[in-house]
Structure 1
Amino acid sequence: MKEDNKKKCRILIIFLSLLFIFIIITGCSASQEVHQTEVKKDQEFDQGSILEFSDISEQKIEDFAKLSKVWGLVKYYHPKVVSGDINWDYELFRVMPSILEENSDVNSILYEWVHTLGNETVPGDLEQLNRFSEDSIQLSPTTDWSKDKEYLGTDLSLELSKLLDSNISERKNAYVSFNGDSPFAIMHNESSYTSMKFDDTGYRLLGLFRYWNIIEYYFPYKDVIGEDWDRVLLEFIPKIIDGSDYDSYFMTLAELTSRIHDSHVYLTGKNRESITEYFGIYRLPVNFVEINNQIVISKVFNKCGLKVGDIVLKVGDNSIDELLEDRRKYISQSREDTAINFFKALFRTHQKNMDVTLIRQGKTMNISATSNLQEINFLVDTKSQAMENGEIFYINAGLLEEGEIDKIMKKWWNTKGLIVDLRNYPSSALDYKLAKYLIPSEKEFAKASLPNPAIPGEYYFEPLASEKPQDTDDEVYKGKVVILINEHTISNGEFTTMLLRKTENSIVLGRPTAGADGNVFGITLPGNIKTTISGIGIFYPEKKPTQRIGVQPDIRLDPTIEGIMEGRDEYVERAVELIKDGY
């Protein structure tokens, strides 16, 4: 591997080892006010866009969709915008009234708008550093529409087509920038517009256009979202202008973010409130698991009327299927059976007491359940420990302390097997640290998909490999290794599973993972709304995706209602059996 590639991989390792929860809490919280001097000088629309309307014709929806696409391409490709010389948000407000006029010649308006930026900059040659072979390209920008003269007119099409060859690698002042040699995109130059008035249609549309174009150019999994992203834009233009208050704006953005089907999505409002809070401040103090398309109570934290093993049919006036459908409308999920925020939101309610219809030991009954303000987690709380008289050691990834892996491996080096429980998110760096004890040589276990700084919308593959063992004699652990996963295994947990799976004597046991692998990319939207997406892609060495599919187990294991009611951890039980039987 070339030296610069090694450097990128080292950076990648550091980022992927960060705690998912930490990123969720802090990843979007840093101030993202615009840094460019020239942009700050433009204050014309600081008090509002002066654009308010609530009705729009079908033709104008299409015109505004075209405006969004042109605005986004210029935002990421035009030298003057990339250099920070122009407040491109405010330029959007300047052109919107002309687009809104009935019978306006939209193509001519957009051409004059873009042409006035100047085209004196000669398209640059692509630097060798940012040239990648066709075989190494994971995703290419979907910009063919800009060459469609029938759609845009000849003048506008030619103007936009020239921009595609700008090949700008220096993006310090751009709306999406890169820090030094880091392959990770950052958005510190976007303004949060904290004083936004939520009946301001211009700013509401800016929120939609900003998000839509970020997904269009800076989402490595855009090709697997399962949506026609152009159709989504057309659908949400009337939705975003229809409301006139904060709640309608926030919930429309929530619905929009759900359409990329990414469990890395986390949405917080202007006061840092989570999308989950919109479903109620109260929550039934229980955990649940999906078994055979039924929602089964798996743990009860406080006395509330529900019992372990109950199958929930209805909460209040809503069937469980109606609740599931409602939550999925606003909470993004890579797979329908996963998403940390989805689990946290399902049993939220605005009432402290509610009627619940359920099946308990075969009998259908109605009970009065009591909720509370307690936040619930889905952690497996079994501590790391020796089992089977010291023959097996169980490692709970979610309860590890810094440096604990080294101590565990030295003390339990001669055990018959290890159980590595990744049903919790790793609380400390586990992936490469444990792999050094398990894998005898460098082995490629994944490919990362990274954004090409010079070509917005292009992502390239970078191989990721395990490192050499810690000991100079290359001795590795000889026992069996069983890796436990389920729908709560997400992000770094999935990444760790892919790496540890390269252990010669390993088996992955459980249910498919969440299907949201990679790092977390923070986004700020107008009104100080924060959200996140997967910022880089993670694929298998043969380039097969993990997004929306999840890491698949070697042996599938579904918990049973009987096991739950008896308080057994069927995953650990089966892992012990496998190690004792020698697989």
Structure 2
Amino acid sequence: MNRKLILVIIFCFFDIFQMISHEKTVLSNVEKYKQFGLVWGLLKYHHSEVSKGNYNWDEIFVENVDKLEGVQTQTNLDSFLLNFVVSVEESKIKTDTNMDNVFTKNFDYKWIEQYSGNKELYIKLKKLENNTSIGSYYTSKSGIPTFENEKGFKAFDYKIKSHRLLELFSFWNVIQYYYVNKYLMDKNWFSQLEYFVDDFSNAKTNLEYELAKTKLIVSLNDSHSYYFAKPVSDSLLKFKPPFEIKIVNDTLVITGILNKLGKKDDLKLGDLIVEVNGMDIKSFQKQKIGAKFSSSNDSYLKKWANRWLMRNTKDSIKVKIKRENYITTKYIHLYKTFTDKDYSSLPFFQIEKEWQLIDDNIGYINLKTISKEDITKAFEAFSNTNGIIIDLRNYPKNISGDDITKYTYPDREEFIKVLSPLGNRPSLASFSKPSISIIIDPFKSGGKNSKYYNKKIVLLVDHTTQSKAEYIGMAIQASPTCITVGENTAGSVMNIAIFKLPDGTEFRFTTMGAFYPDGTGVQRKGLKIDHYVKETTSNFTEDQYILKGIELIKK
């Protein structure tokens, strides 16, 4: 027999086999929910009529999810999805496939290809993929997404599966189409969808439901996305230790203690906890804190670890403690409340004033609460100093970057590039500037100043430097004499969006991407660091950040 004819017969047989399999294989509920949620989300953000808010799209989701129980095979599901798509008014299509000068790393519509066997459904979905004739009911058309029309779902009940799935797909789709930092997640967003569907569809209790939601938010890897529901906190943080801790490298140091309760377990200030429940501190932190708090990087986890790491569901916890040459493993008591008021803490070095001279002729400015007027006074007083240390291990309350850079720049300078989502092209973004740039460019700072401060400026940052603080930090870093000292910052720089989920929960995420003018990204990484501070368990009570700043200025 002719070889080509044999190959044709084989391929035909294979196609027939696939078609039969397509028609007869019974789909899992997870797969049905997943495919329907994808199509529902595509229409929400791409369909000209749905995106105008002309339909109660949440109600329609709940009604149709319940109908999926009667759908068995992929062929049946294709028909169901086609009927769903054509049940809404025909979409006005204005196609734009031009990808020049746009950011495409979040563009992901490959899932539509699975419907290529159903020509009518496939064509309709493909047209929506590139449709730009869309409304702004569910998000704005500006470069900063807003979601004012997400009001929640009336009579939401976590006990109802369709309501839980609505919660999931409302969250999943807004991230799919409007989270410009999606490409930076540890795990591919699409690849996690089946696990999320399984968690939400099978959640039997309020705790299981809240844990599924927590896992969803944690997966964003965004330090702006804090969420810690009461059922979760109650399940993890019932009992607390009679002491405070600080993470120094991979060790917990007892920095403050209620003396009577501490004495009960022979605990002292300065004791080093090197293991908890048989795990090293790094592993324990990852298991307990990293799985419950969304964070752009490990440095930011310290914020929550210092506060929650030693809390427990039981009234005791197993620790390994090191004190000089003495090491012991034991259970220590934890408490719901404390009556002991006899408190002691380690003597930390601290500068009380917002600005002052330190170490002979070095200026120090703390940006946390300083006013614009005091910044002016400080730079006037520091004009002849050997250098200035600017402390940004905080969140400035009263100032902007311009209040600093007008003294530290010789000319107006670009300090940041910003990636913004395109309002009429979901999943795409660009580095274009906002309309206000016609009047003044918000991504530039400083001004012409022949008398700018040209001695060394040392900027201090750590894991508490976040959001507005990081934005101000980027502006200060563009000063020609700036050196940055510290540890990785929180890695969540720009504006936040607030999205109300169907159950009424408001969650936040970073709406834009921040980059240095040279193209280096800041989201997740944090600010560029010139000199990392190495704290040890023997030197951390003295401010190693300030000491390093003094050393660099004196060099």
- When normalised by structure 2's length, the TM-score is 0.82
Equivalent of 1:191 in 134, 151, 154: 151
Aligned residues of 1:290 and 1:337 also touching (Cα < 8 A): no
Distance 1:243 1:357 in 2: 36
Residues 459 and 341 of structure 1: is their aligned pair in 2 closer, same or farther, counting only changes over 3 Å? farther
Equivalent of 2:538 in 562, 566, 574: 562
Equivalent of 2:252 in 289, 292, 296: 296
Aligned residues of 2:139 and 2:423 also touching (Cα < 8 A): no
Equivalent of 1:439 in 406, 409, 412: 409
Distance 1:474 1:298 in 2: 50
Secondary structure of the residue that 1:185 maps to in structure 2? coil
Offset at 1:367? 6.5
Aligned residues of 1:297 and 1:307 also touching (Cα < 8 A): no
Residues 199 and 185 of structure 1: is their aligned pair in 2 closer, same or farther, counting only changes over 3 Å? same
| 2:194 counterpart letter in structure 1 | L
* Structure 1, unpaired ranges of 5+: 1-56
| 1:142 counterpart letter in structure 2 | D
Offset at 1:235? 0.8
Query: Deviations 1:212-239 (Å, cap 9, x if unpaired)?
Result: 1111111111111021222211011121
Equivalent of 1:533 in 509, 512, 525: 509
Distance 1:412 1:234 in 2: 59
Aligned residues of 2:94 and 2:132 also touching (Cα < 8 A): yes
Secondary structure of the residue that 1:134 maps to in structure 2? coil
Query: Deviations 1:280-337 (Å, cap 9, x if unpaired)?
Result: 154444241241xx13226326446354543323446876434531322221121133
Q: Indicate the residue corresponding to 2:545 in structure 1.
A: 571
Secondary structure of the residue that 1:99 maps to in structure 2? helix
Residues 279 and 558 of structure 1: is their aligned pair in 2 closer, same or farther, counting only changes over 3 Å? same
Residues 318 and 473 of structure 1: is their aligned pair in 2 closer, same or farther, counting only changes over 3 Å? closer
Q: Indicate the residue corresponding to 2:170 in structure 1.
A: 210
Query: Deviations 1:345-367 (Å, cap 9, x if unpaired)?
Result: 32233456655432222422237
Range with bigger deviation, 486-495 or 459-468: 459-468
Q: Indicate the residue corresponding to 2:327 in structure 1.
A: 364
Distance 1:165 1:238 in 2: 30
Aligned residues of 1:484 and 1:509 also touching (Cα < 8 A): yes
Equivalent of 1:486 in 462, 465, 468: 462
Offset at 1:559? 0.7
| 1:89 counterpart letter in structure 2 | D
Secondary structure of the residue that 1:563 maps to in structure 2? coil
The answer as to 2:77 corresponding to 1:106 is yes
Residues 363 and 572 of structure 1: is their aligned pair in 2 closer, same or farther, counting only changes over 3 Å? same
Distance 1:431 1:362 in 2: 48
| 2:500 counterpart letter in structure 1 | T
Query: Deviations 1:485-536 (Å, cap 9, x if unpaired)?
Result: 2233222222222221111111111222222222222122222222211111
The answer as to 2:189 corresponding to 1:229 is yes
Aligned residues of 1:267 and 1:529 also touching (Cα < 8 A): no
The answer as to 2:135 corresponding to 1:164 is no
The answer as to 2:237 corresponding to 1:280 is yes
Distance 1:223 1:380 in 2: 41
Secondary structure of the residue that 2:170 maps to in structure 1? helix
Equivalent of 2:108 in 142, 148, 166: 142
Distance 1:262 1:489 in 2: 14
Query: Deviations 1:150-183 (Å, cap 9, x if unpaired)?
Result: 3x72221211122234314651xx22235xxx53
The answer as to 2:484 corresponding to 1:504 is no
Equivalent of 1:519 in 495, 506, 509: 495
| 1:361 counterpart letter in structure 2 | E
Distance 2:224 2:494 in 1: 9
Equivalent of 2:427 in 441, 457, 463: 457
Q: Indicate the residue corresponding to 2:21 in structure 1.
A: none
Aligned residues of 2:273 and 2:319 also touching (Cα < 8 A): yes
Offset at 1:553? 1.1
Residues 473 and 265 of structure 1: is their aligned pair in 2 closer, same or farther, counting only changes over 3 Å? closer
* Structure 2, unpaired ranges of 5+: 1-25, 339-347, 434-441
| 2:495 counterpart letter in structure 1 | N
Q: Indicate the residue corresponding to 2:297 in structure 1.
A: 335
| 1:137 counterpart letter in structure 2 | F
| 2:519 counterpart letter in structure 1 | K
Listed as ranges, the matches of 1:380-391 within 5 Å are: 382-383=351-352, 384-388=354-358, 391=361
Aligned residues of 1:491 and 1:518 also touching (Cα < 8 A): yes
Offset at 1:58? 6.3
Query: Deviations 1:395-443 (Å, cap 9, x if unpaired)?
Result: 2222434643233223333322111112222233242211121112122
The CA RMSD over aligned residues, in Å, is 2.9
Give the % identical residues: 23
Secondary structure of the residue that 2:299 maps to in structure 1? coil
Offset at 1:390? 5.5
Offset at 1:101? 2.2
Distance 2:98 2:415 in 1: 21
The answer as to 2:288 corresponding to 1:326 is yes
Distance 1:380 1:263 in 2: 28
How many residues align? The count is 501
Residues 117 and 342 of structure 1: is their aligned pair in 2 closer, same or farther, counting only changes over 3 Å? farther
Larger radius of gyration: 2
Secondary structure of the residue that 1:204 maps to in structure 2? helix
Equivalent of 1:428 in 372, 384, 398: 398
